[in-house]
């Protein structure tokens, strides 16, 4: 799965494209990685990786609410990242096994935050005010990752390629959300 800054970037970009700039939409983009729920991603096998089962969530989430549209946005990013980004570069290799990709995330977070002009204090405040079963240690870990200013050489991810992927995949995810809205009476009306 991509790093937290990637999810914040996509929530910001999709939010702009679809006029979904509510706090709940942004929270929903982060929930799958910080809630106390073992099946928050409900994964299925796809080539090398376990990816979110989008159909499962389309049937089980209340997509009339911004929070859950954000949740779906998070899962769509995870799916595209694993299948369309990592899956195309490392098509026959699981890059999570040696754990070095997490170092890449830490090296890229600060650069991505600056490039996409993310307000980390806003996200921290937004998440700390949410009342649900958040795993405090997961939230704390993710916020610490955002605040680090680590430098180093990445092993798996190229900054330019990855940041371009995040920007471009935001278009794809926006279109997918509109398509889901057109096919479902449950999805938020303003996406239609």
Could you read off the pLDDT of 46-75 as tens digits, one per residue? 666 778 888 888 887 777 889 889 999 999
The CA distance from 58 to 42, in Å, is 12
Q: 16-30, 109-123, 143-157 — which is least confidently predicted?
A: 143-157
Question: Mean pLDDT across the chain, nearest whole number?
Answer: 84
pLDDT of residue 70: 93
The CA distance from 72 to 98, in Å, is 28
Give the pair of three-digit tokens for residue 115: 């490039």
Give the pair of three-digit tokens for residue 112: 């991505």
| Token pair 């595209």 in the structure block, residue | 80
pLDDT of residue 90: 86
Give the gyration radius of the chain's Cα atoms: 16
Give the pair of three-digit tokens for residue 49: 């990786």
Name the band, by pLDDT with cuts 50, 70 and 90, for residue 160: very high
Highest-confidence range of 17-31, 100-114, 166-180, by mean pLDDT?
166-180
């Amino acid at each position: 799965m991509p790093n937290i800054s990637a999810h914040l970037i996509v929530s910001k970009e999709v939010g702009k494209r679809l006029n979904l700039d509510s706090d709940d939409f942004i929270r929903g983009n982060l929930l799958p990685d910080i809630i106390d729920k073992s099946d928050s991603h409900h994964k299925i096998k796809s080539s090398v990786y376990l990816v979110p089962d989008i159909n499962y969530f389309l049937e089980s989430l209340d997509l009339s609410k911004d929070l859950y549209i954000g949740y779906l946005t998070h899962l769509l990013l995870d799916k595209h990242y694993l299948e369309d980004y990592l899956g195309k570069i490392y098509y026959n290799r699981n890059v999570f096994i040696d754990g070095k990709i997490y170092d890449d995330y830490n090296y890229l977070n600060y650069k991505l935050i600056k490039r996409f002009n993310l307000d980390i204090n806003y996200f921290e405040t937004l998440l700390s005010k949410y009342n649900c079963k958040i795993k405090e240690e997961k939230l704390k870990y993710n916020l610490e990752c955002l605040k680090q200013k680590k430098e180093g050489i990445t092993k798996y991810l190229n900054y330019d390629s990855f940041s371009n992927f995040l920007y471009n995949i935001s278009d794809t995810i926006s279109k997918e959300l509109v398509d889901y809205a057109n096919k479902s009476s449950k999805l938020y009306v303003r996406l239609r």
